Structure 1
Amino acid sequence: MTVHPFIEAEKTAGHNVKRACELLQVSRTAYYARRNGVPGLRAARDAELTEQITTVHQRSRGTYGAPRVHAALKREGAGCGRRRIARLMRQAGPAGRTRRRRH
């Protein structure tokens, strides 16, 4: 659960931000960084990876899942984990196709 909306409400009510951050054990730097809306390094890297993932997924005509996308990105030099790619694929929407069972 994020406490930043609570700190913002305390600020608009005229209370001390420093005291609210101390009570909720949040650094003031983190509060103001989130308030300004500047994305962090991880969020920026996730956005870049999401673009690369969608490119690889489109090149495969929508068939590649997370393991194959991970292998393709690894060949291209974008080093990151398979689970991170799976998480980003879930958030962005592309999913791999499964093969039909043979009878």
Structure 2
Amino acid sequence: MGWALSPTLTTALPLAALHRALATRRPPRGLVHHSDRGSQYASAAYEGVLQQQGLTGRMSRAGDCWDNAVVESFFHTLKVERVHERRYHTWEEAHADVADYIERFYNRQRRHSTLGYLSPAMFELHAAA
């Protein structure tokens, strides 16, 4: 999964996350990409990248938060475990801290009950074996 952080929400933000995911994960053609109904995901630029990569975009149903529950759960966890307990003085400080949380802790160390109490990195290793 890719991620990006920005002080403003424009199409450039999810595009940056998508490009990061494409570069690091190299998903197979035909993969289904789920998102909420934000206008950024419906933009021609975003849909163009999905199409160019052979990915299929699917948006959640209007008013149904359960369609995007995994992402909503992640953001809740990020806020509770990291962001709400900190006071950031600069944008760079916030970005570095969130990057550390996602890349070092959440993906590599934090155990997830839905993954059999493995970290996402360990789960992926076991699944590939």
TM-based fold match above 0.5: no
TM-score by length of 2: 0.27
Which structure dedicates a bigger proportion of its chain to helix? 1
TM-score by length of 1: 0.32
Which structure dedicates a bigger proportion of its chain to strand? 2
Larger relative contact order (Cα-Cα within 8 Å, sequence gap ≥ 6) = 1
Bigger radius of gyration:
1
